[in-house]
Amino acid sequence: MPKVVFRIPTPALLAAGSAAICATPVAWGVPGLQALYLLPAAFAWWVVRNRTTVDGDRIVARGTFGKREVPWSDVKAIKVVPKGWLSAVLTDDSVMRLPAVRAAHLPMLSQVSRGRVADPTAVAAADEPAEEPAEADGDATPPPVKSQE
């Protein structure tokens, strides 16, 4: 059974490391400011923890401090936000955010969910008129092939 894990890209951890390095002169300049290291550590924790795992049976959304598991039978729709994370609308009309899943991931989400989520690229392809095949000339010769010397 295929399973897909949507995560925040790990290069985001470079931002946490850079922030910790940049905070060092200030943090050690005054006693007690070492607490500044908590901010990059919290950001790194957020990057590592937030993810959504999807398979044919369920969706598992893991947030910073918790996890929620929902079977596909409880999902009524997927709410698409153009510049944000998607959300699953459940049968009781509650909304569950899907961390790290964006609108560009809909085709993959459709494939893993076995069609429970509509693939917008397939719908767009079905709406386009089919191109008429070019007329084939039985006497036509194929174009010459260029050789690389």
CATH number, residue 104: 2.30.29.30
Q: What is the pLDDT of residue 49?
A: 95
The answer for residues whose C-beta is within 8 angstroms of residue 136's C-beta and 6 or more apart is: none
Residue 142 lies in a domain: no
Residue 107 lies in a domain: yes
User: pTM above the 0.85 mark?
Assistant: no
Residue 80 lies in a domain: yes
Residue 129 lies in a domain: no
Residue 12 lies in a domain: yes
Residue 94's domain comprises: 3-122
Q: How many domains does the chain have?
A: 1
Residue 128 lies in a domain: no
Residue 136 lies in a domain: no
Q: What is the pLDDT of residue 59?
A: 94
Q: What is the pLDDT of residue 149?
A: 47
Q: What is the pLDDT of residue 63?
A: 93
Residue 127 lies in a domain: no
Q: Which contiguous run of DSSP H or E holds residue 81?
A: none
- Collect the ranges in the chain with pLDDT lower than 50: 133-138, 140-142, 149
Which of 132, 130, 138, 108 is CA-nearest to residue 120? 108
